[in-house]
Amino acid sequence: MAIVAVSISPIGEGPSVARWVAEALRVVRAQERVRYELGSMFTTLEGDPDEIFALVRRMQEAVFAAGAKRVSTVLKMDDRRDRVVAMGDKLRSIEEWLGQK
C-alpha cells in the first residue's frame, strides 16, 4: 500500500486554484478504491500504487478538461513493502514520539 501526497494546479490561470482543485477532487470522489484526505496544500491518497497513478492521471485530465492549458503536478510517495501502513498510522507515530497519545 502506498501513501501519496499530490498537488495538481494549472499554470497561468490566476492566483486562485480552488476551482481547479475542485475539478480534480470530483474525480477522486467519484471512485471508491483509493482513500483520500484533502489538505490545504496537498491531497493525500492511500492505496495500490498503480491505482493511484491512474487516478492522478484522471485528476490531471479533469483540470485540462476544465480549460487549463498547462498543469503542474507534484507527487510525493511513501510505498512501504515491509508492512501495511495507513495515513492515520503516520500521524499516530508522530504523536507517540511527542507523548500525546
Give me the CATH number covering residue 67.
3.30.70.930
Place 90 in a pLDDT band, splitting at 50, 70 and 90: confident
14-56: pLDDT as tens digits: 899 999 999 999 999 999 999 999 999 999 999 999 999 999 9
Q: How far apart are CA 68 and CA 4, in angstroms?
A: 23
In degrees, to the nearest 5, what angle opens at C-alpha 61 toward C-alphas 57 and 66?
A: 150
Domain assignment of residue 28, given as a range = 2-98
Place 101 in a pLDDT band, splitting at 50, 70 and 90: low
3-state secondary structure string, 19-76?
HHHHHHHHHHHCCCCCEEEECCCCEEEEECHHHHHHHHHHHHHHHHHCCCCCEEEEEE
Number of structural domains the chain divides into: 1
55-80: pLDDT as tens digits: 999 999 999 999 999 999 999 999 99
Q: How far apart are CA 56 and CA 36, in angstroms?
A: 12
